C-alpha cells in the first residue's frame, strides 16, 4: 500500500502536477551591503492618446456626469495617488511624433480637431493638452515625462514647448502660458527626443537619428532652475547596433537612452488571448518576459563602452504584455484584459529592473489606463483595478530603496526552450526596513523558502500576497475582486531566519524590520 502511494507521488511530480512535498529553497540576503539606488521612476507609467487611455480613462471633462475633479475622473485620480505613481510619460508612443502641442493649448472649444491616424483613425479633439497633462501630474503627485515630436515637428516647435512649460520670466511662450491661465511654470525634468525613431517615429537609421537628436537637443534649454534630463529614442528589443551607434554619436549630450520590449505570448500576427491560455502559453510568456534580463545586460554592456561610469540611464519606457484585443473592441484601441499571469509578468520585470538598478534609471509600463497591460480599466462610470495594479502596490516599498545582494538556491522550472529558477526575488533596504518580494513562477508547485538575513537584527515580519485559483483569473466591472491583495501572516522570523511557504503562481512581499 505504502509503495503504491509513493509511486503515485513520483508520477505526479514527473507530470508537473502538484507535488506532495513543496520544493525547498534558500535565500541569503546581505542586509548590510547596499548595491545601488532603486530609482522610484522604475515604477513609472505611460499614458498615450490611444483608445480610452486618456479620453474616458483619465479625462472626462468638467461637465461629465462621471464624478471628476476639474475634468479628471475622481476614481482614477484616487487610485493613482494610492499607488504613489512617480512619473507618467505622455503624449505617446507613436502619437508623440504626430503631436503638435500648439493644437492642444488655449480655449478648449477652439482647439483643432484632428485624426489620430496611428490609433483607430478617430477624432482627436485636443481637449486634453499640455496644461491638462501637467496639472494632472500635479494633482496625482507624479513627475511628467514629455515625449517630444522629432518625427514631424521642428526643432523650434520642441524648443518653444520647453519654454512654454518652464520659463519663469516674460517671453512669447511664457506669456502664452499665462494667457492660458497658468502663471507659474511647471517643473519638467524628463524629456524624450522622439519615440521609436526606427519605426513609427520616422523610420530612421541610427546614424540619421543621432544627427537629428544632436540638432534638436541643442535648442532644449534649462530655464528658471529647471534641469532637463534628455532621453534619446532607443532600441527596439535586441537591436544592439542602434544603442551602439547612438551611444557613440550622441554620448553625454543625452542623460538617458530608451529601450522598448514587449512580452508577446505567441506571434505579432496572433499575439494570444489575454484571458484564455493554457499552461504552456503561460510558461512561454514567462520565458519571453525573462528575456528582458538578457536585453538589459547586453544593452548595458554596450553603454559601458562609452559610459563606464554609468552616468547615462537606460530608460525602459515601454514594457509589458501585449495580447490580442478583447473580442468586439476596436483593434486600434489596444484594449486588453489583465490576469494573474500579467501581475506575475509585472513582478518579474520589476525584479529584473531592480537587479539592474545601476543602469536602469526609469521604466514605464505600457500603459496606465485601458491600453495594453493596464493597471486600471474603466467603462462609463465604472472602474476596476487589475492584478497588475496590485503588483505595483506590492513593490512600492522598493521605490527609492537600496538594492541588496541576494543569493537564491531553488529548483528549476522548464519554460519551453529554456529553464529558469522557479522563484525570482528582489530585496531592498530603506530607513532600516527590508522589503523582500518573491515571485513563484511555478503554476503548480509551492516552495518552502528559508531566508538568511545577514548583517542585521530584526524583530518583526509583515507580509502580503497576490494569487488566485487560476492564472487566467481577472477582475471585471461586475466581479472586481477575484484577484485581490491579501495579508500574508505565515512568514516566521526566528533569529536571523525568515521561513515561509511560497504558494504556486504567487507574489509575496515581506516587510522586515
Ligand atoms: O504602446 C503602444 C505603442 O507601442 C506605442 O505607441 C509605440 O511607441 C509602441 O510601438
Distance CA 131, CA 180 (A): 8
Q: Which residue from 263, 318, 363, 369 has its CB within 8 A of the most atoms of ligand 1, so it is best to mutate?
A: 318
Give bridge partners of residue 46 from the DSSP assignment. 89, 366
**Residue 94 CA to ligand 1 centre (angstroms):** 6
Distance CA 122, CA 133 (A): 20
Domains of the chain and CATH, by start: 2-37+403-512 (2.60.40.1180), 45-318+347-398 (3.20.20.80)
pLDDT tens by residue, the chain, 513 residues: 233 333 333 333 333 344 457 899 999 999 998 999 999 999 999 999 999 999 999 999 999 999 999 999 999 999 999 999 999 999 999 999 999 999 999 999 999 999 999 999 999 999 999 999 999 999 999 999 999 999 999 999 999 999 999 999 999 999 999 999 999 999 999 999 999 999 999 999 999 999 999 999 999 999 999 999 999 999 999 999 999 999 999 999 999 999 999 999 999 999 999 999 999 999 999 999 999 999 999 999 999 999 999 999 999 999 999 999 999 999 999 999 999 999 999 999 999 999 999 999 999 999 999 999 999 999 999 999 999 999 999 999 999 999 999 999 999 999 999 999 999 999 999 999 999 999 999 999 999 999 999 999 999 999 999 999 999 999 999 999 999 999 999 999 999 999 999 999 999 999 999
| Number of residues that this document lists for the chain | 513
User: CB neighbours (10 Å) of residue 306?
Assistant: 16
Query: For ligand 1, atom 6, which residue shows the shortest CA distance?
Result: 93
Residue pair 360/316 in contact (Cβ under 8 Å)? The answer is: yes
Model pLDDT, residue 22: 84
Distance CA 298, CA 285 (A): 21
**Residue 143 CA to ligand 1 centre (angstroms):** 21
Q: Which residue from 119, 366, 368 has its CB within 8 A of the most atoms of ligand 1, so it is best to mutate?
A: 366
| Angle made by CA atoms 349, 393, 355, in degrees to the nearest 5 | 30
Query: For ligand 1, atom 4, which residue shows the shortest CA distance?
Result: 93
**Residue 192 CA to ligand 1 centre (angstroms):** 14
Model pLDDT, residue 402: 98
Distance CA 114, CA 120 (A): 12
Cell numbers 503562481 label which residue?
505
Predicted model pTM? 0.95
What are phi and psi for residue 82, nearest 5 degrees?
-60, -30
Give bridge partners of residue 497 from the DSSP assignment. 452, 494
Q: How many CA within 13 A on the CB side of residue 159?
A: 13
Model pLDDT, residue 1: 29
Model pLDDT, residue 20: 52
The residues assigned a catalytic role are 196, 318
User: CB neighbours (10 Å) of residue 254?
Assistant: 24
In ligand 1, the atom with minimum distance to the C-alpha of 201 is 8
Query: For ligand 1, atom 1, which residue shows the shortest CA distance?
Result: 366
Distance CA 382, CA 479 (A): 12
For 108, the 3-state DSSP assignment is helix
Residue pair 451/493 in contact (Cβ under 8 Å)? The answer is: no
| Crossing angle between the packed helical segments 206-218 and 155-166, to the nearest 10 degrees | 40
Q: Which contacts (CB < 8 Å, 24+ apart) does range 126-129 have?
A: 127/55, 127/59, 127/61, 128/49, 128/54, 128/55, 128/58, 128/59, 128/104, 129/101, 129/103, 129/104, 129/105
| Crossing angle between the packed helical segments 340-355 and 279-306, to the nearest 10 degrees | 20
Amino acid at each position: 500500500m505504502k509503495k503504491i502511494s509513493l509511486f503515485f507521488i513520483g508520477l505526479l511530480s514527473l507530470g508537473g502536477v502538484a507535488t506532495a512535498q513543496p520544493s525547498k529553497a534558500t535565500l541569503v540576503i546581505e542586509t548590510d551591503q547596499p548595491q545601488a539606488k532603486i530609482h522610484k521612476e522604475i515604477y513609472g507609467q505611460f499614458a498615450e492618446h490611444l483608445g480610452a487611455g486618456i479620453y474616458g480613462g483619465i479625462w472626462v471633462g468638467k461637465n461629465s456626469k462621471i464624478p471628476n475633479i476639474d475634468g479628471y475622473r475622481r476614481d482614477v485620480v484616487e487610485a493613482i495617488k494610492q499607488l504613489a505613481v512617480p512619473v507618467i510619460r505622455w503624449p505617446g508612443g507613436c502619437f508623440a511624433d504626430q503631436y503638435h502641442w500648439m493644437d492642444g493649448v488655449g480655449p478648449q472649444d477652439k482647439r483643432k480637431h484632428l485624426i489620430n491616424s496611428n490609433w483607430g483613425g478617430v477624432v482627436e479633439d485636443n481637449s486634453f493638452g499640455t496644461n491638462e497633462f501637467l496639472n494632472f501630474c500635479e494633482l496625482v503627485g507624479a513627475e511628467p515625462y514629455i515625449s517630444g515630436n522629432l518625427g514631424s515637428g521642428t526643432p523650434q516647435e520642441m524648443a518653444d514647448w520647453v519654454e512654454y512649460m518652464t520659463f519663469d520670466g516674460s517671453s512669447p511662450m511664457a506669456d502664452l502660458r499665462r494667457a492660458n491661465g497658468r502663471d507659474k511654470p511647471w517643473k519638467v525634468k524628463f524629456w524624450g527626443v522622439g519615440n521609436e525613431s526606427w519605426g513609427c517615429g520616422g523610420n530612421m537609421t541610427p546614424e540619421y537619428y543621432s544627427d537629428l537628436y544632436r540638432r534638436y537637443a541643442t535648442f532644449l534649454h534649462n530655464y528658471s532652475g529647471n534641469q532637463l534630463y534628455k532621453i534619446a529614442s532607443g532600441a527596439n528589443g535586441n537591436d544592439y547596433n542602434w544603442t551602439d551607434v547612438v551611444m557613440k554619436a550622441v554620448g553625454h549630450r543625452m542623460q538617458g537612452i530608451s529601450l522598448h520590449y514587449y512580452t508577446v505570448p505567441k506571434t505579432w500576427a496572433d499575439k494570444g488571448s489575454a484571458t484564455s491560455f493554457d499552461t504552456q502559453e503561460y510558461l512561454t510568456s514567462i520565458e519571453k518576459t525573462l528575456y528582458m534580463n538578457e536585453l538589459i545586460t547586453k544593452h548595458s554592456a554596450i553603454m559601458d563602452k562609452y559610459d563606464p561610469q554609468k552616468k547615462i540611464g537606460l530608460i525602459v519606457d515601454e514594457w509589458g504584455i501585449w495580447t490580442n484585443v478583447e473580442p468586439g473592441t476596436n483593434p486600434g484601441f489596444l484594449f486588453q484584459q489583465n490576469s494573474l499571469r500579467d501581475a506575475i509578468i509585472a513582478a518579474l520585470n520589476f525584479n529584473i529592473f531592480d537587479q539592474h538598478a545601476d543602469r536602469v534609471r526609469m521604466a514605464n509600463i505600457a500603459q496606465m489606463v485601458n491600453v495594453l497591460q493596464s493597471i486600471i480599466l474603466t467603462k462609463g462610470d465604472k472602474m476596476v483595478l487589475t492584478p497588475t495594479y496590485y503588483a505595483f502596490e506590492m513593490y512600492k516599498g522598493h521605490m527609492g530603496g537600496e538594492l541588496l545582494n541576494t543569493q537564491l538556491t531553488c529548483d528549476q522550472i522548464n519554460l519551453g526552450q529554456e529553464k529558469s529558477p522557479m522563484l525570482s526575488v528582489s530585496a531592498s533596504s530603506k530607513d532600516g526596513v527590508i522589503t523582500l518580494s518573491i515571485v513563484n513562477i511555478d503554476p503548480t508547485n509551492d516552495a518552502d523558502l528559508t531566508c538568511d538575513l545577514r548583517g542585521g537584527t530584526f524583530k518583526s515580519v509583515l507580509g502580503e500576497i497576490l494569487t488566485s485559483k487560476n492564472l487566467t483569473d481577472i477582475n471585471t466591472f461586475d466581479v472586481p475582486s477575484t484577484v485581490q491583495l491579501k495579508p500574508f501572516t505565515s512568514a516566521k522570523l526566528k533569529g536571523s531566519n525568515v521561513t515561509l511557504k511560497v504558494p504556486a503562481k504567487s507574489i509575496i512581499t515581506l516587510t522586515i524590520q
